[in-house]
A = this chain, B = another copy of it.
Amino acid sequence: MIVPKQSVRNMRPYSPPTQGRGGKIRLDFNENTVGCSPRVLAAVTQALTEENVAMYPEYSEARTEIAKFLGVADDQLTFTNGTDEAIQLLINTFFEPGDELVTLSPSYAMYRFYAEVAGVRVTEVAYQIEDDLVFPLQSLTKMITSTTRGVFIANPNNPTGRAISVDDVVTILEHSPRTIFLLDEAYVEFSQISVLPLLDRYPNLFISRTFSKAFGMAGLRCGCLVSSAENIAWARRAQSPYSVNALAVAAACAAVGDIEFVANYVHEVVNARQMVQDALTRYGLRWFLSDGNFLLFDAGSRKQQILDQMKSAGILIRDRSHEIDGCVRVTIGTIDQMKLFITEMEKAI
């Protein structure tokens, strides 16, 4: 029998639901619930030639396009196979085994996941329910010491929902110029708070972006990692030269060419989020302010009832009670989709 290395043996398995979601109302993974822009489909159709399929992907034109969209230089960006590869790449490039990574809890599971795979020590700073799950700025800065190699922050945070301000990020960055900071901006299109303008001032800042959420391209696996040209050159040294699908980069270019599609969707999500908040308030359920396309609420003793009702109605939501007692996370989709959600909530309560 072949046994894995110690750190993998010790890992908790990460097993999100990965099957049978098609055709349902998917309010469980914070995807774009109406799909991608029609221009994305058109771009993939156009890119779908025998040569593009048979040939190893070429990224440089697409990189120019996306870098321009983000307002950075070409060499400040590398495409990644979703945000997941960005996280793994950062850890593989810059963290020795035993180094310390500080993250928040709860947050995106893959920070801990890839740290554990690499034998990196994880220190977690907990969001406090008694503080309404606001960003624990003070506890976090206290936790960052001279031996902290990196700090990974989702902004807005998932599943709690709130974004932190650019000023708060500056406070953290100023705290430790030798520590690597990843700001994972997977939901930035909803929060409109980005630290991209800080890149020039802080050589220790990395930002990851993804096309899996607002852009509606989770199936295509495309994201990117952005930092100084020097940092990105090191990361690319540790990266496979062909980690992103050729059709995915064609799709990404089309996606940033249809900002109106995303803006309209974000606008509807913000309105729908307000509607869901109001409904939850009516039911007397506590919910937590969100800057993303999802809402965490405390279903308390009615949690199982709600989950069962949603399941029977073909609406997928996500139980997060293993992280925050009694809590459930619902992705915010369109007004019509959230009306269905509210209807089922009413039946459950």
Contact = CB atoms under 8 A, between A and B. Distances in A.
B45 A50 contact: no
Contacts of A95: 5
Interface in A232-264: 234-235, 237-238, 240-248, 251
Given A53-B216, A58-B18, A234 B35 contact: no
A180 to B, nearest CB: 6
A122 interface: no
A55 B41 contact: no
Contacts of A23: 51
A88 to B, nearest CB: 8
Contacts of A19: 58, 60
Contact of A18 (B41, B44, B82, B241): B241
Given A84-B242, A92-B117, A58 B20 contact: yes
A97 B99 CA distance: 14
A59 interface: yes
Copy number in the complex reads 2
Q: Give the interface size bracket for A toward B.
A: 35 or more
Contact of A36 (B50, B118, B217, B234): B50
A173 interface: no
Contact of A16 (B1, B14, B241): B241
A209 interface: no
Q: Interface residues of A: mostly helix, strand, loop or mixed?
A: loop
Interface string A77-109: 000011011001000111111000000000000
Contacts of A284: none
Interface stretch (A218-226, A321-329, A338-346): A218-226
Contacts of A143: none
Interface in A35-49: 35-36, 40-41, 44-45, 48-49
Given A20-B58, A56-B218, 11 more contacts: A1-B230, A2-B180, A5-B93, A8-B93, A18-B241, A41-B48, A48-B48, A84-B243, A97-B119, A221-B244, A245-B245
Give 7 closest A-B pairs by Cβ, nearest first. Answer: A35-B50, A219-B246, A54-B216, A245-B245, A35-B54, A84-B240, A4-B234
24 contacts: A2-B231, A4-B237, A8-B94, A11-B237, A11-B238, A15-B241, A18-B56, A18-B59, A19-B58, A22-B51, A34-B50, A35-B54, A45-B45, A56-B212, A57-B218, A81-B221, A82-B243, A92-B117, A97-B97, A118-B118, A218-B242, A219-B245, A220-B245, A221-B243
Interface of A: 1-6, 8, 11, 13-16, 18-23, 26, 29, 31-36, 40-41, 44-45, 48-60, 81-82, 84-85, 88, 92-97, 110, 113, 117-119, 178, 180, 203-204, 212, 216-221, 230-231, 234-235, 237-238, 240-248, 251
